[in-house]
Structure 1
Amino acid sequence: MKKKFMAAALLGTVLVSSALSGCSSSSSSDASDQNTITVWGMGEEAKSLPKIAAQFEKENPKIDVKVQAIPWGTAHDKLLTAVASKSGPDVVQMGTTWMPEFASANALMDLTPYLKKHPELDAANYFDGAIETTKFDEKVVGVPWYIDTRVLFYRKDLLKKVGYDQPPKTWDELYDAAKKLRDRGKGKYGISLDPKEQSLSFMFARQNGSELISDKNKPLFNQKEFVDAVSYLNSFYKDDLAPTDLGMDAVQSFRGDAIVPMFISGPWMIKLINDQAPELKGKWATAVLPAKENNLSVLGGSNLSVFQYTKKKDASLKFIAYMNKPETQLKWKEMTNTLPSTKKAWEDPSLKDDPIYKVIGEQMDAAKPVPVIKQYESIAQAYIKSFEKIYRGQTSVQKEMDSFNKTAEKLLEK
């Protein structure tokens, strides 16, 4: 589920093109060649999948790979159609938040019996948070492919001017730093916190000790831990430390004297800043998130799954095992700027010795996915509506969270 967590899990749009080398619109139901597997890739990075597939074919000359690139915006409906017809791809890229829905529909093959045969798929190879997204009803229904998390981006030079030689490390320090940065002058803010990004509230709530949903499947959104976290987040809008309707590009507002010198986002912003604001080199950095009870971040990304109805199980398993070799994942990072899911790949100097990326890896150790339940997307959309009433001052936090909790209860019963 990569998006700008803002867009956190979700990604760009790619047109299906037969011009892509190695691409085809064939599915497993109409691929007559029994040595051919069909892979559905989602989003911008699907443009590069045929290149990796070609390398796989060299190592596995008896297997051909056909890649179909699908825009994220249409992928969900296309997958639903494939499930209904029991005819789709052999291997499918799956946003992490979609896993419970399609696993509950029995659309994803249980990989558990094949893990010993393919050691690349061993859970020990991955960050714990990433593994959480691959399990459903005690089955392993996918493997982490690429991952992302949220960290603090900040202007080192501007923070230093207001008394911070180091990035804020606690909730209190984050608020204080944002206040001092806001006080630089009219039209300035301290931090950008996208109010339409529900994951931020859930993330802050977990940092405050909230479980979000109990082990008995009951929502905890009106409990003190969650309510206090929402109040804390809302204080940034209420006190004009963070904009609600700025309408400015994140990189542009980060440049110069910086309208917004701090923001919380994912690793995709690294390339954007480097490409669009090269003059900021050495003036900005990333940091793990400030802590309250903990500094848990949200973990997103995409998994690879084998479609339940494939007739080419062995070839499909070989492909996802190849994609999850550390060396393959590092090639994939070079091609797409997405970050590897295997811990071994993070030992590569391009990641561990780069101060910007090193922080991402450190935050991965304190990152959890959103609740792995099929109702999550519905709950998230309902929360965005509730939170807007709060930050626009239309209601109190406790009152709105009482109402939202009742909505969540009904959604969880479905």
Structure 2
Amino acid sequence: MRTTRTAPSRRSFLGLAAAAAAGPALAACGSGSASSGGGGTVKFWDMPWSTPAYNVAAKKITEAYKPSSGALKASYQITQWNNFYQTFASAVASKTGPAVSTGGGFQVFQFEQQGAIAHADNVIDALKKNGQFDDFLPGVLDPFKLDKGYIAIPWQLDMRVMWYRKSLFDKAGVAPPTDWPSMLAAGKALKKISALGFATGAGSGNSYANHAVIQMMLSNGGGVWTPDGQVDLMNDRNLEATEFLYELVSNGLIDPAAVSYTNDNLQAQWKDKTKAGYGLYASGLDQSIGDTSGDLMVAPVVTGPHGDKATLVFPNNIMMYKNTPSQQSSEAFLVYYMGQLKQYWQQKVLSGLPVFKSITELPEFAGNANNVRIIKEWQPIAKTFAARGTALNANIAVLDGGQATTQFAQTVITGEGNAKSALKAFEASLKSAIKS
């Protein structure tokens, strides 16, 4: 089985908001103060995306890089998630940071606004020449293509999909939902056997309720933004989706205690084979909780009442910085690194989804039926938090995991007020947060 993540696969608002308040004068912690040009190397900062086995593999890949004549070698450093944005912000401000890095899903947009990011168009051109550009899954590059060019390169996907426990559905005598009416009917049937028809959580560090409420909007053709990026929460599709969530709550399909559930609490419900019957979670849930028996399965895509289909995806990216001993060397290393990504799935040290079609065809990945279903059915309809547009931006960091989103999710899953009042409060809070 694949090893599980020990840290979230995309970290954004909480660290970004703290850094915005504290400013880049914060001291970098640990070895983050080392110069990006120390020793004439391209410094690559990476995050602990999974168990230590992932970072061991990443270090080997980095140190195995053999640059062409005149180009620089690369060095590898792990940067911890704790206070990660402050670490990056301080290092970028003092010009002691990395030349290339992974990191929070939206940090590249923050640093691009500060003029610190080197665009990746030359890398894209190189990937076109070596054939990898055509290997990208549909749509994964779109969020990073701005008017001025490509801001970063995606390297793995954090997908939200619906999961169900087959034995509970069999016991309840219902089929997995394919639309909203069958979701409600299945939830009622699961409730009769004391199982949850919509497992989620909104406690400390748990953003699954946040993602669930936005995912339901997207799957109804709605979204937080207009296509050009303006806040638009009060549209009819969002109202309809929120009303449906209130209906799930009123029928007792969401655990009343979910408002305080951490991710550990939510995983415990999925591990309990009598509790969580259906709900939204990341890809790799079966591996994460150690249940690869085949009983825990990716559910069919649910079609909204107007025929819409969508889910949330967080495309994790690799970014380059202007503070580098050699921009050409940074680009050459990144091209090399993208060509080595398959090793993570071959070694089963990463539970995120690959961005390349060829990796999804590897036996180590395709041997899992849930992986196959996600790539075949869910990835083609996946949208980012930017929907109804496509390009990500710094404002979306305020949406993802922000207090406005958390308050909205908690309001909805506890059934407080009504859909219209909840959306109004969400819109006002989000607009205020963006202006500040």
Coarse TM-score class (shorter-chain normalised): 0.7 to 0.9
Match of 1:51 in 2: 57
Which residue identity lines up with residue 226 of structure 1 in the other structure? Answer: N
Match of 1:75 in 2: 84
Given candidates 330, 340, 353, the residue that maps to 1:339 is 353
Which residue identity lines up with residue 126 of structure 1 in the other structure? Answer: F
Deviation at 1:50, TM superposition (A): 4.7
CA distance in 1, matches of 2:319, 2:131: 11
Structure 1 residue matching 2:318: 3-state secondary structure: strand
For residues 168-219 of structure 1, the C-alpha deviation after alignment (integer angstroms, 9 at most, x for no partner) is 111211121111000114xx32220334532221111111111421134321
- Are 2:225 and 1:190 equivalent residues in the alignment? no
- Are 2:143 and 1:133 equivalent residues in the alignment? yes
Which residue identity lines up with residue 201 of structure 2 in the other structure? Answer: D
Match of 2:418 in 1: 396
CA distance in 1, matches of 2:131, 2:333: 11
Deviation at 1:342, TM superposition (A): 1.1
Given that residues 28 and 90 in structure 1 are in contact (C-alpha distance below 8 angstroms), is that contact kept between their aligned partners in structure 2? no
Match of 2:39 in 1: 33
CA distance in 1, matches of 2:123, 2:368: 36
Which residue identity lines up with residue 25 of structure 1 in the other structure? Answer: S
Given candidates 295, 302, 313, the residue that maps to 1:283 is 295
CA distance in 2, matches of 1:75, 1:137: 28
Report the count of equivalent residues.
392
CA distance in 1, matches of 2:435, 2:161: 34
Deviation at 1:41, TM superposition (A): 0.8
Given that residues 162 and 299 in structure 2 are in contact (C-alpha distance below 8 angstroms), is that contact kept between their aligned partners in structure 1? yes
Deviation at 1:110, TM superposition (A): 0.9
Which residue identity lines up with residue 164 of structure 2 in the other structure? Answer: Y
Structural mapping, 1:287-366, within 5 Å: 287-292=299-304, 293-325=307-339, 328-331=342-345, 334-362=348-376, 363-366=378-381
For residues 6-50 of structure 1, the C-alpha deviation after alignment (integer angstroms, 9 at most, x for no partner) is 956349xxxxxxxxxxxx93667364322x221111124484345
Match of 2:384 in 1: 369
Given that residues 107 and 307 in structure 1 are in contact (C-alpha distance below 8 angstroms), is that contact kept between their aligned partners in structure 2? yes
- Are 2:192 and 1:161 equivalent residues in the alignment? no
Structure 2 residue matching 1:150: 3-state secondary structure: strand
Greater shift in the superposed pair: 96-105 or 45-54: 45-54
Given candidates 158, 178, 185, the residue that maps to 1:176 is 185
Given the superposition, is the C-alpha separation of residues 339 and 7 from structure 1 closer, same or farther in structure 2, using an over 3 Å criterion? closer
TM-score (norm 1): 0.84
Match of 1:249 in 2: 265
Deviation at 1:53, TM superposition (A): 3.9
Which residue identity lines up with residue 395 of structure 2 in the other structure? Answer: Q
CA distance in 1, matches of 2:341, 2:273: 41
Given that residues 115 and 122 in structure 1 are in contact (C-alpha distance below 8 angstroms), is that contact kept between their aligned partners in structure 2? no
For structure 1, list consecutive stretches of 5 or more residues without a partner in the other structure: 12-23
Match of 2:100 in 1: 91
Given candidates 280, 304, 309, the residue that maps to 1:264 is 280
CA distance in 2, matches of 1:54, 1:285: 34
Given candidates 384, 387, 405, the residue that maps to 2:427 is 405
Structural mapping, 1:104-143, within 5 Å: 104-119=113-128, 123-143=133-153
Deviation at 1:89, TM superposition (A): 0.3
CA distance in 1, matches of 2:435, 2:352: 36
TM-score (norm 2): 0.80
Structure 2 residue matching 1:290: 3-state secondary structure: coil
For residues 47-85 of structure 1, the C-alpha deviation after alignment (integer angstroms, 9 at most, x for no partner) is 434534434544516754322212223111112112322
Given the superposition, is the C-alpha separation of residues 175 and 27 from structure 1 closer, same or farther in structure 2, using an over 3 Å criterion? same
Given the superposition, is the C-alpha separation of residues 336 and 394 from structure 1 closer, same or farther in structure 2, using an over 3 Å criterion? closer
Given the superposition, is the C-alpha separation of residues 92 and 7 from structure 1 closer, same or farther in structure 2, using an over 3 Å criterion? closer
Given that residues 98 and 324 in structure 2 are in contact (C-alpha distance below 8 angstroms), is that contact kept between their aligned partners in structure 1? yes
For residues 115-149 of structure 1, the C-alpha deviation after alignment (integer angstroms, 9 at most, x for no partner) is 32343696533234421332334321111111121
Given candidates 238, 251, 272, the residue that maps to 2:250 is 238
Given that residues 27 and 89 in structure 1 are in contact (C-alpha distance below 8 angstroms), is that contact kept between their aligned partners in structure 2? no
CA distance in 1, matches of 2:231, 2:187: 31
CA distance in 2, matches of 1:217, 1:92: 27
Structure 2 residue matching 1:298: 3-state secondary structure: strand
Which residue identity lines up with residue 270 of structure 1 in the other structure? Answer: D
Given the superposition, is the C-alpha separation of residues 117 and 61 from structure 1 closer, same or farther in structure 2, using an over 3 Å criterion? closer
Which residue identity lines up with residue 240 of structure 1 in the other structure? Answer: G
Over the aligned positions, Cα root-mean-square deviation in angstroms equals 3.0
Which residue identity lines up with residue 125 of structure 1 in the other structure? Answer: D
Question: Identity of paired residues, percent?
Answer: 17
